[in-house]
Amino acid sequence: MSHLPAILVRLAALAVVVIAYTSLVVPMMSEQGDANIGAGLLAFAIVIVISLIWSVVDGRRAGLAPTAVRWAIVAVVLSIGWVLLLVVVEGDDSMTTREAVGAAFGLVPFTIVLVLVPSLVGAAIGQSLHRES
């Protein structure tokens, strides 16, 4: 599979999971309106596990370098999209859209690491499994 379709498939799958989780699960977990740390941690864990497992498969098939490039692009695009989704879903009337986006973009590096680190670990594991086969 070439890079672009592979990236788009991974990005779409993770985006669907994040959007579904944000739309369906988070409202049920925080009905009282307070911060629900558990809901956020569960979302992070889901993204980490998906990135790790999928990148093991990718690393086994394609090797470390192509998998790392694919997942780095996925991490950047997903993190920007996730932050924009948070701005839209949890919009604050006290700030302009520009201010809200600017404030939320501090989360982009964190989200990149959230996807990229497990995917690099998974790619390395996958490549080592490829060599043993």
Per-residue pLDDT tens digits for 16-44: 998 888 777 766 765 555 566 777 788 88
For the record, the structure tokens of 88 come out as 């839209």
Domain extent at residue 123: 3-132
Alpha helices in 1-36 (DSSP H): 3-20, 26-29
**What percent of the chain lies above the pLDDT cut of 90?**
52
Higher per-residue pLDDT: 126 or 43: 126
Q: Which helix (H) or strand (E) element contains residue 21?
A: none
Whether the pLDDT of residue 105 is over 70: the answer is yes
- Each residue of 43-78: b (16+ CB within 10 Å) or e? beeebbebbbebbbebbbebebebbbebbbbbbbbb
Query: What total number of domains does the chain contain?
Result: 1
Evaluate if pTM is beyond 0.75: yes
